[in-house]
Amino acid sequence: MRYDSVVSVPLQAGDTRESLAQAVGGEVLAWNDEGCAARMANDCNTLIGFNPKLSSAGVLNALSGRKVKVEANKDVFSGGGKITAIANGSIAIWAGGSIAIWAGGSIAIWAGGSIAIWAGGQYSPIPQNNTLWQQIKLERAQQLAPHLGKGVTVAVIDSGIDLQHPAFQGALTGASTWKDFAGGDNVPQEEGITGEGAYGHGTNVAGIILQIAPQAKIMPLRVLDADGSGDVANVAQAIRWAVQKGAQVINLSLGSTENSPAVQDAVEWATAQDVLVVASAGNENVGRITYPAANAAQGKAAANLLSVGSVDPQDLKSSFSNYGAALEIVGPGEHVYAPAPDGRMASWSGTSMAAPMTAGGLALALGEKLKVPVRSLTGAMAQTAGNIYAGEANAAYAGQLGQGRLDLAAFLGQTIR
């Protein structure tokens, strides 16, 4: 059921699911194990959804004076991004795990690199993205990180994915880790109509991650409806679920103009355990990025939370990308080709497409032996980013597009053995 309000509650010794649910008059939506309060006092909190019978003060009172943050369960999270091209039937071969070939285009072969492997068979990085891959030095990065993300789980908290798409066969985590929080079941399948709303958004995002780290596993979690919006309770629950089910990286190609305490608590809980969270900056072309990305540069989650904006193939700010002091890095987010529902391929534009470029890069690093602690990875990714402020480039946005444009080769050169 859908709750009107949510509250994130710091745990105390002796708390149980039942005792907290009863105190608030709601349901515990996300729960740490019983020993959590004793083990990690500061980061141990739980999430409760409820329909207020008590006032906020009453809830506070029922929770014996702890510092809690009651908030309305608003539908404030949005995926954003726009579909820009659909390869409607022009893909010659998808199924069977063989190389994807565009009927109408030539296939570019990586100069020196091996062909990336998409689950179940051979796969060539989609040639329409070659300019973008050169921009972020993907070919070199995949040579530096030959495990290609093997053994790394990336949660895609989004509009779901097309679970039947050939591109994802063998590339997903076990079905027991899947969840559709928006639909209230265990099947996070994209729902909708091609070209409308968010249909295809999560499929594109997951497909970008797999082009960068083809051996990583995707954990599909659906929080956005077909219209692209999602509520606080679902986003906060999905983040906690991802951590509990073993995700090492969480991709949030979504954001809100409001700072949700419940979502921020979930992000802080994840990052405290060195789960890396990347979040898109939003697509309104304003000097203020969306939450939770806006909390990436300072605060408790900062070390393991990365905010990501978008640039064009020439490293100029994308016309849609938000910007600001809280933005840490930019990546290419225009016309990014990836799988689309119904066995298709499509390109999308948005900061939503730039974020998974960084998530895939983090998965490449985590698949190798690191020479730095996990909690310095997102910082290193920003620090090694390529300069985008030379000359007059991006002059109007000096210092507001982060430290630069994602450079996966430089990032891996500094972080893996």
Which positions touch Ca ion (CB under 5 A)? 296, 302, 305
Which of the following is catalytic: 8, 124, 147, 201?
A: 201
158 catalytic? Reply is: yes
Closest distance of CB 276 from Ca ion, Å = 10
Nearer to Ca ion, 116 or 302 (CB): 302
352 catalytic? Reply is: yes
Nearer to Ca ion, 148 or 302 (CB): 302
Closest distance of CB 305 from Ca ion, Å = 5
Nearer to Ca ion, 211 or 280 (CB): 280
Which of the following is catalytic: 253, 318, 352, 407?
A: 352
Residue type at position 359: A
Q: In angstroms, what CA-CA distances link 351 with 259, 312, 317, 318?
A: 18, 11, 11, 9
Closest distance of CB 20 from Ca ion, Å = 31
Closest distance of CB 126 from Ca ion, Å = 29
Closest distance of CB 3 from Ca ion, Å = 31
Neighbours of 385 (CB within 10 A): 23
Nearer to Ca ion, 218 or 302 (CB): 302
Q: Could you tell me if 329 and 356 are in contact, meaning their C-beta atoms sit under 8 angstroms apart?
A: no
Q: Is 246 exposed, middle or buried (0-12, 13-18, 19+ CB in 10 A)?
A: middle
DSSP state of 60: H
> What is the distance between the alpha carbons of residues 33 and 106, in angstroms, rounded to a whole number?
53
Nearer to Ca ion, 188 or 402 (CB): 402
Which of the following is catalytic: 158, 225, 265, 315?
A: 158
Give strand pairing partners of 180.
Answer: 185, 222
Closest distance of CB 306 from Ca ion, Å = 5
Nearer to Ca ion, 71 or 407 (CB): 407
Of 139, 155, 316, 142, which Cα lies nearest the Cα of 238?
A: 155
> What is the distance between the alpha carbons of residues 234 and 250, in angstroms, rounded to a whole number?
15
Residue with nearest beta carbon to Ca ion: 296
- Write out the DSSP string of 348-401: EESHHHHHHHHHHHHHHHHTS-BSS-GGGHHHHHHHTPBP--STTTTGGGTTSS
7: Cα separation from own chain's centroid: 23
253 catalytic? Reply is: no
Q: Is 111 exposed, middle or buried (0-12, 13-18, 19+ CB in 10 A)?
A: exposed
Q: List, by residue number, the catalytic residues.
A: 158, 201, 352
